[in-house]
Chain A
Amino acid sequence: MHDKCLDVENLHLWRGDRHVLRGLCFSLSSGECLQVTGANGSGKTSLLRTVCGLMYPEEGRILWEGQDVRGDLATFHCSLVYLGHEPPLKAELSARENLHYWIGVRRRVGAAALDSALERVGASAWCDRLVRTLSAGQRRRAALAGLALSMVPLWLLDEPTTNLDTEGQQLVGGLIAEQLERGGMVVAAVHHELPATVRDLRRLELSA
């Protein structure tokens, strides 16, 4: 078992005429969580999407385990999961079916694993109802079940606590803490602090 490592070197990103990311550098090792804060428009989402490889930086590199991710994006994608603002769920499928398709495209997922992930996020009661009948908080929980199910070392989360009550926010903290204990890493873009269950946060503040 070797330590995973994410390195971001001298990242510059322009969106139109705006210089959004200006020479960003950081390093993340196994067991670390990076909390990214900043005002609206400061580039939190752009940073996450650039690390994913969805956006292409004008300058700078992203290194995963010492290799430039641009060399083999597909393998890098196998090692990460990205959760955006909106939970990636289809309204006409149930939460269980959504997870089956979403994670099933990535890795073989058994029914038992699905059940335990849904139970972990407290979704067992409503996991077979269509997503369009669920509240925003329930949808967020269903998306979090996908995180637990994806079994990848790197989590990139964009505002994971949106629409969640206190209990839900504790759930997010718990999931992140478990991920870190497993030796994974998390980069989370947030407006407010992550729950206290996540210890020893690294912090990064982006200015607009």
Chain B
Amino acid sequence: MTWTWFHRLASPPYVYTLAARLTPWFAWPAALLIIGGLWGGLVMAPPDYQQGDGFRIIYVHAPSAWMSLMVYTTMASAAAVGLIWRIKVAHAVAASCAPIGASFTFAALVTGALWGQPMWGTYWQWDPRLTSELILLFLYLGYMGLRAGLEDTQRADRASAVLAVVGVVNVPIIHYSVTWWNSLHQAPSVMRLAKPTMALSMLVPLLMMLLGFTLFFAAILLVRLRGEVLSRERAASWIREIVNA
């Protein structure tokens, strides 16, 4: 019995309608959490004794960085499912994730640079986390580039799935080696984007933002997924039924 819902998830028409129904359930809580988190972080939380008001960018930077990694893992998992069990909807999910993840990565880099300016006086430092984020951005771009370069959708799906799985295995290795590299050349001044020690009033809005971003990702993914399914199944009869209804 438990496998029936799994099999239904592999059916594009079912996923198409399910995604439409689920989107508001993710979108509204996401909006509330993000607004609440922003208000709590930007207005309510007290300024950090060391960094002043400059630390507040963490309320956007940390969730973006967290999401960039989480989306990559989701993308790789969906791709692996599609590769092993040959489920086309899983490939559609992976394809939909990629631009979202790349955007989160880009946002993390930009907010990291903006944070760096008051902290270090320059917009860019080869901080291990920022460097890892930059490499992750290239992993996303490589994935999207491979998809774009292969015309046959089925081959693009499967090849990019292999790439995503290889990438997800490499991410810890890359992160470790970048941290190691950075530790070798530690300058006397504080180079890292140091998280300030968190009081509860600072932590709660951060967690709200994290959860809000996650739900936001889910909502956007569902919207993109519907578009992706439509584009892939454009020749199928069930699309015509929906259009004519």
Contact = CB atoms under 8 A, between A and B. Distances in A.
Within the complex, are A and B direct neighbours (CB within 8 Å)? yes
Interface of A: 15-17, 56
Contact of B235 (A15, A17, A56): A17
Contacts of A15: 152
Nearest to B235: A17
7 contacts: A15-B152, A16-B152, A16-B153, A16-B154, A17-B234, A17-B235, A56-B86
Interface residues of B, number: 6
Contacts of B153: 16
A103 to B, nearest CB: 29
The 7 lowest CB-CB distance pairs between A and B, nearest first, are A17-B235, A16-B152, A16-B153, A56-B86, A16-B154, A17-B234, A15-B152
In the complex, which of the residues A15, A16, A56 has the most CB atoms of chain B within 10 Å of its own CB atom?
A16
Contacts, number: 7
Nearest to B236: A17
Nearest to A18: B235
Nearest to B155: A16
A16 B235 CA distance: 10
A58 B211 CA distance: 40
A17 B234 CA distance: 9
Contacts of B154: 16
Contacts of B235: 17
Nearest to A19: B235
Interface in B143-159: 152-154
Contacts of A56: 86
Nearest to B88: A58
B69 to A, nearest CB: 32
A15 B153 CA distance: 10
A56 B86 CA distance: 10
A17 B233 CA distance: 9
A56 B235 CA distance: 21
B81 to A, nearest CB: 16
A122 B235 CA distance: 51
A56 B83 CA distance: 12
B239 to A, nearest CB: 12
B44 to A, nearest CB: 55
A56 B158 CA distance: 12
A170 B152 CA distance: 39
A56 B152 CA distance: 15
A70 to B, nearest CB: 11
A56 B154 CA distance: 11
Nearest to A17: B235
Contacts of A16: 152-154
Contacts of A17: 234-235
In the complex, which of the residues B86, B152, B153, B235 has the most CB atoms of chain A within 10 Å of its own CB atom?
B235
A15 B155 CA distance: 10
A51 B133 CA distance: 45
